[in-house]
Amino acid sequence: MKEKIPKVVKADILEDDNYKTKIIKSPLRSGASVSYDGNILVIGDVNAGAELIASGSIIVLGVLRGFANAGAKGDKNAMVIANKIVATQLRIAEFIAIPPKDDKKSYSGVQMALIKEKEIEIQQIN
């Protein structure tokens, strides 16, 4: 017996118990700025010179090269998730991280930045 697959529902705003989610269906170029009281989901790359500011978490289905500020209103449980995080500056709540410019590590899989022991830690998700 074949399993039925539900139809995909197009949505620009999703809600969970804590935050709504703004969905951006295109890459963000230098100079673009998105600020939202909730989560932000970007389908595409976030280029250097672009910025994302969210009171909740930030998810990028692409490479994050720009500025990202998750938990902008102090939510220490917020996260930044992307296919690759090479942000010019990364903030979660009041914590700030600037990746080293000479980081030439090879990454495969999704990366997640979160607060661990009072600092931002980037973890590999395999």
Q: What is the CATH number of the domain that holds 86?
A: 2.160.20.70
- Domain with 35, as residue range(s), is 18-99+108-125
**How far is it, in rounded angstroms, from Cα 5 to Cα 75?**
35
SS3 call for 122? strand
- Contacts of residue 7, defined as CB under 8 A and 6 or more positions apart, other chains included, come to none
Q: Based on the structure, what is the number of domains in the chain?
A: 1
Which pTM value belongs to this model?
0.83
Domain assignment of residue 64, yes or no:
yes
Within 13 Å of residue 15, how many CA atoms lie on the same side as its CB? 1
What are the tens digits of pLDDT across the range 68-99?
A: 999 999 999 999 999 999 998 999 999 999 87
Domain assignment of residue 113, yes or no:
yes
Domain assignment of residue 1, yes or no:
no
Domain assignment of residue 75, yes or no:
yes
**How far is it, in rounded angstroms, from Cα 33 to Cα 44?**
15
Distance of CA 88 to the CA centre of its chain: 13
Domain assignment of residue 73, yes or no:
yes
Domain assignment of residue 53, yes or no:
yes
